[in-house]
Amino acid sequence: MTNWKLLIAVPSALGAALVVCADALAAPAELNIAADASAQSAAADASISPSESIQLAQVTSVSELSDVQPSDWAYTALQRLVEEYGCLEGYPDGTFRGNKALTRYEFAAGLNACLDVVVQLISPGGNSDEIRRLQEEFAAELATVRGDVDVLQTDVAELEANQFSTTTKLRGELDAHLVVPFDDAELDSGGFIFENEDDIPVTGDDGTVGGDEADATFEYRARLNFDTSFTGEDRLRIRLQASDDAGALANTESGLANQSGRIGDLEDNVGLDDVYYSFPIGDRISAIIAANSIVTDDFVSSTIVPFDGPAVAGASTPEFYGLYPGGDSLGAGVNVAFTKNLVLDLGYASDSGNDNTPDGGIFNSGSYIAQLNLLTDGIFNAAVTYIGATDAADGEAESSIAGLLNLDFGRFQIGGHYAANSVQGGGDADSYMGGIAISDLFGAGNQLGIYGGISPSVDRDPLLVEAYYQISVNEFFTFTPAVIYADNDSGTGQDDNFYGALRASFSF
């Protein structure tokens, strides 16, 4: 055996001894290990008490043990312990008696004998020549390791001296969309004017989208998230965001999912988006308080439906969440976990919390939400939601009661929602969506989804159907082609349209 193998074999010998001993205690075909002649061991048969001494016989080869055969399951382990390490002995009659139960005395004797071998191998007087030879033989390798460690220590010191922050991580996101409409879009709703006999629609004074669409559009949204943790369980987020003025999917109610449109008047300029602090309160409650951009679905543990996130159109997120004001100046909420699976979400958000006027303050221009979630590790996931507005104007959503459901069969999921949305001044804007999603299709992280339904609107029933395929190229990049059909149900002109869309998402 080479010196290197000898050094490695020391713990191997001890491990093998313990394995054989442990198996003798636990396995039906138990081993009987005898060791040091001076140790107290158990008797070879029932006529000898555990306290009686037995003079054991030293053997130099496992073949000297008459009751050990090469076919025995532990033959190789016994052979190494006897012949290579010399830390097991037999009984005076030349037997090992491997099928007898191992006593605590025999275990102690065998362990002690193997430890003696280990001590002799590594002690300065017992094996110093071998250790010295190993050091000389691997001197070059040891020098390389020392050099690598020195370099790592230098790099760590430099990082510690120049790092951005000991508590903050910078995360970036970029979503870019190429959208191609297959026809023009027209909408006669909420202030649309038809300027001539050819029924050419234009955008109304209320900013409702519509009119002739370009042949193709390219849009983006970029985000930089500064996430800070002081305890390891909390998070302070400050988000910088830039986006162009989204105009794609004009026939739909919600446009693109990963597109925020203008931030005030800061089109194509950086603006402050999320500002919030989330933190735990004990083991079962977490809380969030925000100064910007946190509203309705930002408070909930899950939106339940499987296509929220991977899909391209904004209707993939249950649209009833987006009917309510709030979040521009204040947001506060809690999540209460009654059990591992049953969670209650509560939240309130206001747009006028920084407005010191009779119509301002934190209790005006706001909305509140309560959602009870059943989130399991099995098939059934569901939620019941109530949302209300503090001071909805005529024609605006006043309250919503919704149910969300997801049946998760592993890689195949079926999900959807229904929302009864009442409108101030009378009427409703009920909505529903449902579909399927197949995960890890043709690759880990990919998802194929198809969903469709009716978007919320007071006097129409806008229809949207989308089929998408999210391709996870790697942990930093996803690519999602989609086909979207929308019918705004205006009953005027070209009120339906097909869209082809490509979304590229980067995270870093």
* pTM above threshold 0.85: no
Q: Is 200 exposed, middle or buried (0-12, 13-18, 19+ CB in 10 A)?
A: middle
Which amino acid is present at 211? Answer: G
pLDDT of residue 182: 85
Q: Which residues contact 159 (CB under 8 A, 6 or more apart)?
A: none
Per domain, the residue ranges of the chain are 3-122, 168-507
Task: Report d(CA 148, CA 153) in Å as an integer.
Answer: 9
In CATH terms, is domain 168-507 a member of 3.40.50.620? no
Q: Are 444 and 466 in contact (CB under 8 A)?
A: no
Q: Is 49 exposed, middle or buried (0-12, 13-18, 19+ CB in 10 A)?
A: exposed
Task: Report d(CA 215, CA 397) in Å as an integer.
Answer: 34
Q: Are 394 and 425 in contact (CB under 8 A)?
A: yes
User: What string of pLDDT tens digits covers the 508 residues of the chain?
Assistant: 444 444 444 444 444 444 444 444 333 333 333 333 333 333 334 334 444 445 566 677 888 888 888 888 888 888 888 887 777 777 888 888 888 887 888 788 778 878 777 777 666 555 567 677 777 888 888 889 888 999 998 988 888 777 777 789 999 999 999 999 887 655 444 333 333 334 444 443 333 444 556 678 899 999 999 999 999 899 999 999 998 877 788 788 888 998 875 445 557 788 888 999 999 999 999 999 999 888 899 999 999 999 999 999 999 999 999 999 888 889 999 999 999 999 999 999 999 888 888 888 888 889 999 999 999 988 999 999 999 999 888 888 999 999 999 999 989 999 999 999 999 988 889 999 999 999 999 999 999 999 999 999 888 899 999 999 999 999 999 999 999 999 888 776 567 889 999 999 999 9
